[in-house]
Structure 1
Amino acid sequence: MKKITIITIVIVVLDQLSKFYIKTNFEIGESVTIFQDWFHLLFVENPGMAYGMNWGGPIGKTILAISRWVFIFAMIYFISHQGKKMQKPLFNWTAGLLLAGALGNVLDSTFYGLIFDTGTTWNPEIQDWNRFYPGVSKADFSGYAPLFQGCVVDMLYFPLFDYSIPESIPLIGGKQGTFFSPVFNIADSAITIGAVIILFFHERIFRIN
């Protein structure tokens, strides 16, 4: 449990520091190129799930945040009761990654609306989110939304290459776009890596010693 706790704390701290830096130094939609054209810091806010997915407006957002907390406490319970039977590096890393990823994003959705003065908010007139607002946010605890209505800060953007599908290909011909266009954060990455490890090594991870 100690090793899992350390992994979780390190990832959550890195995740939150990166989000606070972006939120308090970038305007929404602002982008900075890090490496050529394939790695950018692009500040967007996500009112829903990982990689920009969302559903259900404010009610769905509250349900999602509470569900994340339930998952976190359930995972802590599982680790504390079963973790000693599976004390191996692969299990520790997988548990730490998944726990840190869930915790990193639920902190945003639970508390960011109370911490920052501006952010993405729900507009009942158009039944959608107001995703753009002027200026750079301040962490002055004046608040822009109630508890559970804060938005997740995303900033990692890897538009690896643009593509154009020839018109001659049935069904999908003529489509254009960018390969890997989601904007995400460190917490999303932790969840994805943890899930991939489980997919390929689940027998080793959950084998009782």
Structure 2
Amino acid sequence: MVPISRLTVIAATVVLIDQWSKQYIQGHMLPGMSIPVLDGIFHITYVLNPGAAFGILENQRMLFIAIALVMLGLTAYFLKHIPEPFRLMRLGLSLLAGGAIGNVIDRVQTGHVVDFFDFRIWPVFNVADIAIVTGVGCVIYTLVFSTFPTGNQENQR
């Protein structure tokens, strides 16, 4: 079984990169400010998001914190029970946990999440969001394409 500590390092790395990048944006930009990187395609845009993706459920701070805490508890539980061969699922859950923690830190501190990656055709997002989406992708991929043992192997002989 992969040591939990390695998975914790992955989650912690996501949190550190996420929080550093948000602090950098907050220290160098004002809310609403946008810097074109590839004009009309990709900008760094400082947005304070009080909702979830696409701004849904705006100002539901306690709901988002509660959901994240439940998700983190479930992740911690499931990580202990997922066998080593399911590394991609374990990685996905670690990325999900790191992303959730990164966004919860923002919500607890200020009531909103700092977003800044702006591709103009999608809502503005951050490093934690990338980790969450990648983590979900890893989990879904594992669930769809992996073979899972069923029942007692002794009874199947």
State the TM-score bracket (shorter-chain normalisation).
0.7 to 0.9
Cα distance in 2, alignment partners of residues 105 and 51 from structure 1? 15
Cα deviation, residue 98, structure 1: 1.0
Q: State TM-score, norm by structure 1.
A: 0.63
Contact 2:33 2:46 in 1 (8 A): yes
Q: Per the alignment, in what secondary structure is the counterpart of residue 156 of structure 1?
A: strand
List 4+ stretches of structure 1 deviating above 4 A.
203-206
Contact map agreement 1:51 1:182 (CA 8 A) in 2: yes
- Where do residues 35-184 of structure 1 align in structure 2 (5 Å cutoff)? 35-55=38-58, 57=59, 60-80=60-80, 82-83=81-82, 85-111=83-109, 113=110, 150-159=111-120, 180-184=121-125
How many residues are matched?
146
Q: Is the 8 A contact 1:52 1:184 kept in 2?
A: no
> Is 2:32–2:45's contact at 8 Å kept on the other side of the alignment?
yes
Residue identity opposite 1:47 in structure 2: P
Deviation of 1:47 after TM superposition, in Å, equals 0.8
State the percentage of identical aligned residues. 31
Please report the TM-score for the alignment, with normalisation by the length of structure 2: 0.81
More deviation in 22-31 or 61-70?
Answer: 61-70
What residue ranges of structure 2 are gaps of 5+ in the alignment? 150-157
Structure 2 residue aligned with 1:186: 127
Query: Mind listing any 5+ residue stretches in structure 1 that lack a counterpart?
Result: 114-149, 160-179
- C-alpha separation in 2, matches of 1:94 and 1:203: 14
Q: Please tell me whether the aligned partners of residues 50 and 188 of structure 1 are also in contact (alpha carbons under 8 angstroms).
A: no
Q: CA RMSD in A?
A: 2.0
d(CA) in 2 for partners of 1:206, 1:70: 27
* Structure 1 residue aligned with 2:152: none
Q: Rate the CA distance shift 1:28–1:75 in 2: closer, same or farther, 3 A.
A: same
- Higher share of residues assigned helix: 2
Alignment-derived partner of residue 9 in structure 2:
6
Give the letter aligned to residue 67 of structure 1. I
